[in-house]
């Protein structure tokens, strides 16, 4: 029996003959979904991650802090199978991490600070590649980096705030492949200028977003652009409005850039750059302040809420509008705080942060990968038609259910997959491929669906209750009689 597993691999693949019948409502489906990747908690009293960098080869790095006998920095490395703690180099002892980012070539830069003087901090940059930290650089300035972006290994940028009137515009740090250089940013406002995010589209195409104010109670978002020679402020549709908070910026290229943030912590804020101007986009019907944004492709962007109660969804841009995306259930969590998003390719996004179980904070990482379900057909004079299915493995999912049905029934059922499911092909199937004998005849409209089986252990997915509110259940289960509940 194919049990109604609550964690569903959300890629639906239709035979080529059925593609023309695919309704518009299904065309904008996400290429994957987020699943928790268990992380260690080395601190005895509190643990949290503030950033993650996905390399693109299935590995990733994350930074944060741990507490027990004092608070220290924390570095984690994901080798493709699991997370482990990495020792902080002696040159960086005492570091407090502020940001992490990756280059297209697969290098990762982590940055933090430690005290230096009353006027300056020591900024420490650590580079990792091929699974190990291989470079440590340090210098002093009036503030520590809060974000990292790179368009190439020789064009790595960090953005920092300033602490005093002489540097109140903040700083931009740039690594040219050999050395670091520092430039002071112009100050758009007289009282407050707090850079929050940076996106490097190229050596002469760098964007910074921040929070500014002319007085103590004035908060206004601002955007600055580096053209290779100088920084200039770029107007946005919300210029002049108070209580505007720009938190993050990212793009898939120079003509597809997103800013995420919020209006006074109660309303989402999403701006888009199309190569010529900024425009504001509507978020979800339910307002939600946003923390971070990642834009893997023009028709695929993700934004994470500023702070969550369990069950709050990520935002997803489907090429036309922002819609409700994945809900990542965190067992035992009373509050969830997703701090950072990192993209690696068109359909791989990581998120890092922490959750609180009522007693302490725990590290938290989720990963979205594409399921890449593919179909092939074969025919033999000695046997029936066969359909071969293969799909990409999802982290932490050991086995899969495979169901299918008539696409015409699905189209007429307004997305009711339960009613449209007519066959159960596999239950708790190991591996990521299978061959179906006596398959539907070529030319008929048919769809296939793979569903991730339950896994066990901390922070894993379980069957849950089909009726539970805000669960990981997408509402898809096989029709009774074909794939009855088990």
The mean pLDDT of 280-299, rounded to a whole number, is 90
pLDDT tens-digit map of 4-41: 332 333 333 333 222 222 333 333 556 677 888 999 99
> Which among 41, 13, 3, 7 has a CA at the least distance from the CA of 458?
41
- Of residues 217 and 254, more confidence is placed in 254
* Residue 469: both structure tokens together: 């509110």
Please classify residue 272 by burial: count the beta carbons closer than 10 Å to its beta carbon, then call 0-12 exposed, 13-18 middle and 19+ buried: middle
Give yes or no for residue 316 having a pLDDT over 60: yes
> Which among 402, 410, 401, 483 has a CA at the least distance from the CA of 446?
410
Tell me which range, 255-269, 434-448, 457-471, 472-486, is most confidently predicted by mean pLDDT: 255-269
Sign of CA dihedral 169, 114, 42, 84: positive
**Three-class SS state of 92:** helix
Mean pLDDT of all residues belonging to the chain: 81
* Residue 467: both structure tokens together: 């009726």
For the beta carbon of residue 416, count every other beta carbon within 10 angstroms: 14
Give yes or no for residue 486 having a pLDDT over 60: no
Answer for the pair 52, 352: CB distance below 8 angstroms, yes or no: yes
The mean pLDDT of 396-416, rounded to a whole number, is 68
The pLDDT value given to residue 6: 29
Residues forming CATH 2.130.10.10 domain(s) in the chain: 32-369
Rg (CA), the chain: 24
Angle at 79 between CA 7 and CA 462, to 5 degrees: 20
Backbone angles phi, psi at 59, to 5 degrees: -105, 165
The pLDDT value given to residue 29: 57
> Which among 393, 409, 402 has a CA at the least distance from the CA of 446?
409
* Residue 290: both structure tokens together: 């946003």
pLDDT cut 70: percent of the chain above it: 77
How many angstroms separate the CA atoms of 54 and 422, rounded? 39
How many distinct helices (H) and strands (E) make up the chain?
3, 35
Using the structure block, give the residue that is written with the tokens 């990409």: 392
- Of residues 351 and 191, more confidence is placed in 351
The structure's pTM equals 0.77
* Residue 350: both structure tokens together: 């990581």
Give yes or no for residue 204 having a pLDDT over 80: yes
Sign of CA dihedral 348, 352, 358, 361: positive
For residue 24, the surrounding DSSP H or E stretch is helix 24-27
* Residue 108: both structure tokens together: 């990762």
> Which among 197, 149, 195 has a CA at the least distance from the CA of 175?
149
The mean pLDDT of 166-175, rounded to a whole number, is 88
How many angstroms separate the CA atoms of 8 and 454, rounded? 10
The mean pLDDT of 288-308, rounded to a whole number, is 91
pLDDT tens-digit map of 47-92: 999 999 999 888 999 999 999 877 899 999 999 889 999 999 999 9
Give yes or no for residue 185 having a pLDDT over 50: yes
Q: What CATH class is the domain 32-369?
A: mainly beta
Angle at 375 between CA 370 and CA 380, to 5 degrees: 160
Using the structure block, give the residue that is written with the tokens 């038609």: 385
């Amino acid at each position: 029996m194919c049990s109604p597993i609550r964690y569903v691999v959300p890629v639906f693949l239709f035979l080529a003959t059925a593609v023309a019948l695919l309704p518009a409502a299904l065309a904008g489906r996400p290429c994957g979904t987020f699943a928790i990747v268990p992380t260690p908690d080395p601190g005895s009293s509190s643990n949290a991650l503030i950033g993650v960098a996905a390399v693109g080869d299935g590995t990733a790095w994350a930074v944060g802090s741990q507490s027990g006998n004092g608070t220290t920095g924390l570095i984690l490395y994901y080798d493709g199978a699991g997370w482990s703690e990495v020792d902080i180099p002696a040159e960086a002892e005492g570091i407090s991490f502020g940001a992490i980012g990756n280059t297209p070539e697969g290098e990762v830069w982590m940055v933090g600070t430690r005290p230096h003087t009353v006027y300056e901090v020591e900024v420490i940059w650590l580079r990792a590649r091929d699974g190990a930290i291989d470079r440590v650089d340090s210098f002093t300035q009036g503030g520590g980096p809060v974000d990292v972006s790179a368009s190439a290994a020789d064009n790595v940028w960090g953005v920092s705030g300033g602490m005093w009137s002489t540097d109140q515009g903040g700083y931009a740090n740039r690594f040219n492949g050999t050395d670091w250089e520092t430039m002071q940013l112009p100050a758009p406002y007289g009282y407050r200028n707090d850079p929050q995010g940076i996106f490097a589209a190229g050596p002469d195409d760098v964007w910074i977003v921040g929070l500014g104010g002319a007085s103590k109670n004035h908060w206004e978002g601002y955007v600055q652009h580096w053209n290779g020679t100088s920084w200039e402020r770029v107007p946005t549709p919300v210029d002049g409005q108070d209580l505007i908070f720009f938190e993050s910026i990212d793009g898939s290229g120079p003509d597809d850039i997103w800013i995420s943030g919020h209006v006074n912590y109660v309303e989402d804020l999403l701006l888009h750059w199309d190569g010529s101007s900024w425009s504001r986009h509507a978020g979800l019907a339910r307002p939600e302040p946003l923390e971070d944004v990642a834009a893997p492709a023009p028709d695929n962007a993700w934004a994470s809420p500023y702070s969550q109660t369990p069950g709050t969804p990520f935002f997803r841009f489907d090429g036309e509008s922002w819609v409700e995306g994945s809900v990542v259930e965190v067992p035992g969590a009373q509050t969830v705080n997703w701090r950072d998003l990192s993209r690696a390719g068109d359909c791989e996004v990581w998120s890092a942060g922490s959750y609180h179980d009522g007693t302490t904070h725990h590290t938290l990482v989720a990963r979205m990968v594409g399921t890449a379900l593919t179909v092939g057909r074969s025919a033999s004079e000695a046997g029936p038609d066969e359909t071969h299915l293969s799909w990409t493995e999802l982290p932490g999912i050991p086995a899969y259910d495979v169901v299918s049905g008539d696409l015409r029934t699905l189209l007429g059922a307004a997305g009711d997959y339960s009613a449209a499911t007519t066959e159960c092909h596999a239950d708790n199937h190991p591996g990521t491929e299978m061959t179906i004998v006596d398959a539907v005849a070529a030319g008929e409209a048919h769809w296939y669906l793979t569903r991730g089986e339950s896994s066990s252990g901390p922070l894993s997915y379980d069957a849950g209750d089909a009726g539970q509110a805000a669960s990981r259940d997408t509402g898809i289960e096989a029709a009774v009689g074909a794939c009855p509940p088990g």
